[in-house]
Structure 1
Amino acid sequence: MKDGLRRSLLVLSPWLALVAVWYAVRLSGLVNPALVPAPHAVAARFADLLWNQGLLTDVAVSTRRVFVGVAVGIALAVPVGFLIGWFRAARQFADPVVNFFRALPPIALIPLVIVYFGVDEPAKIVILIYASFFSGVIVMMEGVAQTNPLFVRVAHTLGATPTEVFGRVIVPLTVPHILTALRVALGVSWATLVASELVAAQRGLGSMIQNASTYFLLDVIYVGIICIGLVALLMDLALRRLSARFLAWQERAGS
């Protein structure tokens, strides 16, 4: 019981400290209180948006966009990153190009995305796919490049066929990098969400933040930011649990 209480306090304490700092900044006089809405005012606005203005719809729309963007981006990034990381010649050929496009912020591509994909839903998804793809390729490429080839040589020495080597050695060694790429792409996609929803979005958390900024509704902006952070955190926690389940063999092998 005491251990459970201690864990709960450890989880809650940083959030309580953050709220305390929030109140302290507002009451300190260092910042105009009109520019920093109080936490209880933001909570009241959250309740109003939730019950009266379709906040759940905005959350669901943004989550669906991120999910589709990450799923497609990682599905493309995994084989590309694996090939670039596994074959040295491919890495030397593709590494400068990958790093060039990775450095380009998705928001800079919005005018071209509008030209080629219009302003409907595909344009928003394309921006998220772009962000997910290049972040995922980098993680896969670096992870696979650091894989110890000794495992493959040992498998060949023991008489494994190329198919067995791929299925029983390479794939298990690659799974941790896939899950890491998925987590990184998820974080990058949520960070890119507001930019993607600049493209004539009617619903979504990014659209809500943009509309609120037009009318200087700071409490709504805070609600949107907090919602993005919370949904991203929940999705990351789910991925951590998934990673722990799929990678339990590593702990058994190391023990």
Structure 2
Amino acid sequence: MKTPVDAPAEHRTERADPERVESPKRTGGTRKKARGTGRITAVLLALASAALGLLVWVVLANSGIEGFPGPVVVARRAGELIADGTLFEDAGASLKRVLIGYVLGVVLAVPVGFVMGWYPVVRRLIEPWLQFFRMVPPLAIIPLAIVLMGIDETPKIFVIFLASFLSSVVSTFQGVVAVDVTLVNAARVLGARDPQVFLGVVVPASTPFILVGMRIGLGASWATVVAAELIAAQGGLGFRMQQAQLYYDLPTIFVQLIAIGAIGLAMDRLLLVAERRLTHWQERR
């Protein structure tokens, strides 16, 4: 009589080891625990980075550089500017210009980029001019814009619009061009028409490129608005920096620089959150 051990291999049934089989509940708990650990690690690294930056700042302030303010002096000056409302007024003026020019640039750049990427004829007609204007810094157009449009808000918003538009349109049409042809052909084999291919394949595949272009355009917009305010403005963070320069007021300049960086970083983080939500299907490291 054959025992289960002597039975042929094909007739044996292996019992599942309860320690080796992971239940969905255990797997989900492990993933949540890993996410929580990753977030804690990210927060700790961010705090360590901030502490390191402050340490370097203190070292530079105490290194003998003439007039270089330390964190305490800058914090005191920031408190004064916040108390009298100057910092909020300047930040609001600059933020308004950036938002108007940036949104207009992105809204126009996305459809133009899609058309350039989808129709090769349009791309060949527009791309040379696009690359030409990309080689001209928006800062170089500020004097011309002031002469043609005056010294009010229009030239400032225009150069911000140009900076964000050029960055976003290039990323958009590169995203359309980079779409895997196999996906497009597969959709057409399954009976999808051009509008369905465009909306179902091209747009989702191009979304990561669009969002990267939007983040680059955001940085270009802030750089441009500060330069525009340095040349001709009656308010804004760049304008306040120019006024502080005339009086060698370095603490005020530092306050404006920190404000620009903080606002720009917050806006970039919002775009990063949107990118993760819209491109959750992508594999990430």
Asked if these proteins are the same fold (TM beyond 0.5), I'd say yes
Q: 1:6 to 1:172 in 2, by over 3 A?
A: closer
Moved over 6 A (4+): none
SS of the aligned residue for 1:202 comes to coil
1:18-167 matches, within 5 Å, as 18-29=53-64, 31-32=65-66, 34=67, 36-167=68-199
Q: Distance in 1 between matches of 2:239 and 2:139?
A: 14
Q: 2:50 aligns with which of 15, 26, 29?
A: 15
Preserved CA contact (<8 Å) 2:175 2:207: no
Residues 16-49 of structure 1, C-alpha deviations (whole Å, 9 max, x = no match): 11111111122223x22x2x11111001111110
Q: 1:7 to 1:112 in 2, by over 3 A?
A: closer
Preserved CA contact (<8 Å) 1:123 1:199: no
Q: Distance in 2 between matches of 1:55 and 1:25?
A: 25
Specify the alignment match of 1:204 in structure 2: 236
Specify the alignment match of 2:11 in structure 1: none
Deviates more, 1:76-85 or 1:216-225: 76-85
Q: Greater relative contact order: 1 or 2 (C-alpha under 8 angstroms, separation 6 or more)?
A: 1
More helix by share: 1
Query: Alignment identity in percent?
Result: 41
Question: 1:78 Cα shift?
Answer: 1.2
Residues 87-138 of structure 1, C-alpha deviations (whole Å, 9 max, x = no match): 3343344333222211212221122101221111111100100111111122
Preserved CA contact (<8 Å) 1:119 1:199: no
Paired AA for residue 152 in structure 2: D
Gaps of 5+ in 2: 1-32
- TM-score of the superposed pair, with normalisation by structure 2: 0.81
Specify the alignment match of 2:24 in structure 1: none
Specify the alignment match of 1:237 in structure 2: 269
Paired AA for residue 236 in structure 2: G
Preserved CA contact (<8 Å) 2:244 2:250: yes
1:169-184 matches, within 5 Å, as 169-184=201-216
Please, what is the CA RMSD of the aligned residues? Answer: 2.0
Gaps of 5+ in 1: none
Paired AA for residue 205 in structure 1: L
Q: Distance in 2 between matches of 1:130 and 1:7?
A: 35
Question: 1:149 Cα shift?
Answer: 1.9
Question: 1:248 Cα shift?
Answer: 1.7
Deviates more, 1:9-18 or 1:174-183: 174-183
Paired AA for residue 55 in structure 1: L
Preserved CA contact (<8 Å) 1:42 1:220: yes
